[in-house]
Amino acid sequence: MKKDLTPHLKRALLKLDQWTAQIRKTSPLSADGEKALLLRELVKEQLPDEDTRPAARQVR
Amino acid sequence: MKILVLQLARFGDIYATWPVLRALKRKYPKAKLHFLVRRHFAEACQGLDAVDRVWAFDTEAILAPVLEESVSIEESLKKLTGYLEILQNEKYDQVINLSFSPASSYLTHMISGPETEIHGYTRFDDGTLRLPDEYSSFFYAQVGIGRPNRVHVVDLMAGVAGCELQPGDWSLPNNVVEIDTPRPFIVIHIGASQERKSYPARMWAKVIERTREWWDGDIVLVGSASEVEKSNAITAECGLTRVIPLVGQTRLPQLFGILLRARVFIGCDSGPLHMASLTKTPVLNLSFASVNFWETGPKSAGSRILWAQSPVILEPEWVSEEAQRMIERQPGRNTRAEVVSPVDFFASLFLDDHEDFEWDLIKALYFGFDMPPLRTHVAQNAILRLSEINNLAIEQIKRIAIDPKGQTPYEILNRADEMFHTVSQLVPDLAPLARWVLTEKARVGPGPLGEVAAGTLAVHEAFQSQLNKFQIDSKEIQL
């Protein structure tokens, strides 16, 4: 049976949320900042119940 | 010219993208066409001769370090950087993102250079979502489960890519393993991309039992290795007489060969359904409220949709009877809709006589159709309220030009957006209208105050033009 990665994904998402909190306040985004935000989205979309529709009004 | 197309969704979405890639190749015959998919689903690119190169984006390898106990973000970023550098070094002239996800929008922005022509979701330099074309904007505002859109995702992807589809764009891969069987057969795909979109095993068994009463040929069961248990449950109940269980036993080229020979393919929302569109096999699609069949249903002509709120209330007898009617070329009895043709945007849409105000509203907003008459006084009243709020917003934007430092106009503009949203919740019929204006405002993006104000003003004025198209009998409305 495939291993349930949900706890690992949630832990990674929490750390990435902390990691990217400051990045989200900077404008324009640095290349490294944008990569971190992409990584966060890649983690998010692995979680079954996450809404992966992009929010346009919400800055990043 | 070098073009990169991104499709970071699943098997079915990749197969749904094939016709668009073929149309692109026809539009740019001399261009090098590259295709980026997730490594996990890259098998769905086998036999696709329209592209010159397939890139496999290895999400699992990139994420492995952050999923370790130490949550190594730096290591994951290093791996991600490696993939990005390879793609950036290709220096694409066009990047076309046909996945509509946040991750793909960041990726598109990062792969693209300053001269790159971008189609599909991407990002502004400050990281906000950028919808560079009308079709992306349409997708963002109107597409999704529970929404009234009836434009198929394949047509929207072609719009994003800026190409026109032709019937021949739905055709086979070049590596089909053709099968040779003496007896005709029906194919049933027992699974679906998600369990909530799937038909239960005991009900499939009843479909098979009922079908054997009128069908002399075989019934072939297909599905992935993870669905073998379900296949066993089905055959335990209905037996193996004239049933050929191939679940977990077919690679994709064999599955194409099976679909090619099938008289009818019966299945829910899944990758094989989109493969059946490429083999032009008529599909009997079992669809539920968890899916929008208009957007992701079959494209092969003659396909039919059987719809129920949930799988457990879709009677097996109906499924079997409809398959029989398809094979005997009789009109549908319980079908919700039928595919006429895979192309021609509106002409390709399914036949359906349901009155649908919200869909008519979408057609008026985006495709130049007449604005539909408002059905209730509540809706008429809501249009008047929206008009008042919108005119107030227009006044306030004009004040920004006079006094850029004043806070009140910004507060009022934010409140106006909230009001648009609230009206759409109170009067759901008008939700497409609110989504239209809010999405168009989001498209303005960041920039100097004057530019943002001018762009926002243009949207509010366009919104007012839309509102003015509604016919309102103001004598009957209590103001």
AA identity, residue B178: E
Is the pLDDT confidence value at B245 over 60? yes
Distance in angstroms (rounded) separating the CA atoms of residues B428 and B434: 10
Is the pLDDT confidence value at B338 over 70? yes
The band of B350, judged by pLDDT with boundaries at 50, 70 and 90, is low
Is the pLDDT confidence value at A50 over 90? no
Distance in angstroms (rounded) separating the CA atoms of residues B218 and B222: 13
Task: Over range B457-467, report the average pLDDT.
Answer: 96
What's residue B185's pLDDT?
Answer: 98
Question: What's the count of helices (H) and strands (E) in chain B, helices before strands?
Answer: 17, 14
3-class DSSP assignment, residue B98:
coil
Task: Over range B305-323, report the average pLDDT.
Answer: 95
A window 1-60, beta carbon within 8 A of B: 5, 8-9, 11-12, 15-16, 19, 24, 27-29, 31-39, 41-46, 52-57, 59-60
Q: Which residues of B touch A19 (CB under 8 A)?
A: 73
Task: Over range B37-59, report the average pLDDT.
Answer: 96
Is the pLDDT confidence value at A2 over 90? no
Is the pLDDT confidence value at A58 over 50? no
Task: Over range B138-160, report the average pLDDT.
Answer: 94
Q: Indicate the average pLDDT of chain B.
A: 92
What is the helix, strand, coil percentage profile of chain A, to 5? 55, 0, 45
What's residue B345's pLDDT?
Answer: 57
B76 at A interface, C-beta within 8 A: yes
E strand or H helix at B394, and its extent?
helix B377-402
The band of B119, judged by pLDDT with boundaries at 50, 70 and 90, is very high
* Residue contact A52–B101, C-beta within 8 A: yes
pLDDT tens-digit map of B62-78? 999 999 999 999 999 99
For helices B228-238 and B201-212, angle between their N-to-C axes, nearest 10 degrees = 50
* Among candidate residues B91, B12, B14, the one with its CA nearest the CA of residue B57: B14
What's residue A24's pLDDT?
Answer: 75
What's residue A53's pLDDT?
Answer: 59
Q: Which of A29, A47, A51, A58 to mutate to test the interface with B (most CBs of B within 10 A)?
A: A29
- Residue B422 burial class via C-beta count within 10 angstroms: exposed 0-12, middle 13-18, buried 19 and up: middle
Is the pLDDT confidence value at B105 over 70? yes
What's residue B194's pLDDT?
Answer: 78
Question: What's the count of helices (H) and strands (E) in chain A, helices before strands?
Answer: 2, 0
Rounded to two decimals, what is the model's pTM? 0.93
**CA distance to B41, B279, B293, B371, per residue, from A50 (Å):** 21, 34, 22, 36
